Structure formats: C-alpha cells, structure tokens
C-alpha cells in the first residue's frame, strides 16, 4: 500500500466512526464534541498502529495477517501487539516476512495451548474403615 491508499483508508475509517456516533454523539455526557474527540483519537491511534505494522511486515506477511484478522480478530491483535513490542525493544532488525510470521504464529499457538491445557486428576477412595478383605465371608 502506498501513502495515498493509507490516507484514503484513514479518512474512510474516521468518517465511518463519526457516522456511527450520529447527531446524538455530540450531546452525550454533557460534553459537546467529547465523543467525537475520543473517536478521532481512537481512529488516529489505529492508523498509527497500522502504519507501524506496515513498516514491520512485508506485503505478503501483512496479507496473511489480514486474512487471520478476518477469522480471528483477537489473535491478529495479539500478534500485532507482539510485533510492535518487539520492534520497540529492538528485537526486530529487518522486515518480518511471511515465513517468520508463520513461525511466530506457531509459537503463539503453542503457548496458548499450554495455557489452556487442562489436567484431570482422579482420586480413588476406599469405603469402609479398614482395607482388609476379611470382612467378606466366601
């Protein structure tokens, strides 16, 4: 995506968010323009986030991440968060390609499966006071 396409997407998103607020959005909470400001701030934060992701990922990796976002929004957001954090701490030196993104997704999936792993523990108890079998007359 070039800069003109990104700018067009930003403007469309901002218009969509403002349209969702509607005419009652300005009077909400007794603060005229308060929701419009927060909406604009959210849109600009999202745009900055998308711009960082565009700088971090190659076009093929961005396409894969966008396909993941269609199916699992939360997973795509967590991957984006991780990529941004890694870029800020200097762990990413070059642009991340599709293969590296796949490996990162595998690591995240393994970590999530370990977190959601359940263990079932069976405890057997004997009924009665003693364990001897001489209570039964055969």
Could you report the average pLDDT of every consecutive run of 10 residues in the chain (138 residues)? 72 76 51 69 86 91 92 90 90 91 89 78 73 56
User: What would the two tokens of residue 83 be?
Assistant: 């990529």
Class of domain 3-15+41-113: mainly alpha
Six token digits for residue 1: 């995506």
The pLDDT of residue 132 is 56
pLDDT at 23: 56
Structure-block tokens of residue 55 = 């700088």
- pLDDT (0 to 100) of residue 115: 77
pLDDT of residue 135: 54
Quote the pTM value. Answer: 0.56
Residue 5 burial by Cβ neighbours in a 10 Å radius (0-12, 13-18, 19+): exposed
pLDDT at res. 33: 53
Question: Mean pLDDT of all residues in the chain?
Answer: 79
Q: How far apart are CA 9 and CA 73, in angstroms?
A: 19
Nearest residue to 45 via CA among 70, 75, 80, 89: 80
Name the residue among 81, 44, 71, 55 with its Cα closest to residue 1.
55
pLDDT of the residue at 109: 85
Whole-angstrom distance, CA of residue 9 vs CA of residue 50: 11
User: How confident is the model at residue 99, as a pLDDT?
Assistant: 93
């Amino acid at each position: 995506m070039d800069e003109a396409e990104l700018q067009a997407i930003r403007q469309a998103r901002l218009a969509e968010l403002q349209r969702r607020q509607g005419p009652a959005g300005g009077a909400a909470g007794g603060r005229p323009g308060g929701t419009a400001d927060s909406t604009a701030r959210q849109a600009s934060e999202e745009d900055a986030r998308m711009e960082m992701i565009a700088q971090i990922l190659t076009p093929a990796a961005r396409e894969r991440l966008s396909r993941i976002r269609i199916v699992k929004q939360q997973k795509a957001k967590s991957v984006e968060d991780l990529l941004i954090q890694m870029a800020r701490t200097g762990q990413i030196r070059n642009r991340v390609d599709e293969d590296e993104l796949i490996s990162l997704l595998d690591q995240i999936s393994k970590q999530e499966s370990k977190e959601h792993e359940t263990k079932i523990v069976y405890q057997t108890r004997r009924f009665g006071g003693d364990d001897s079998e001489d209570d039964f007359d055969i």
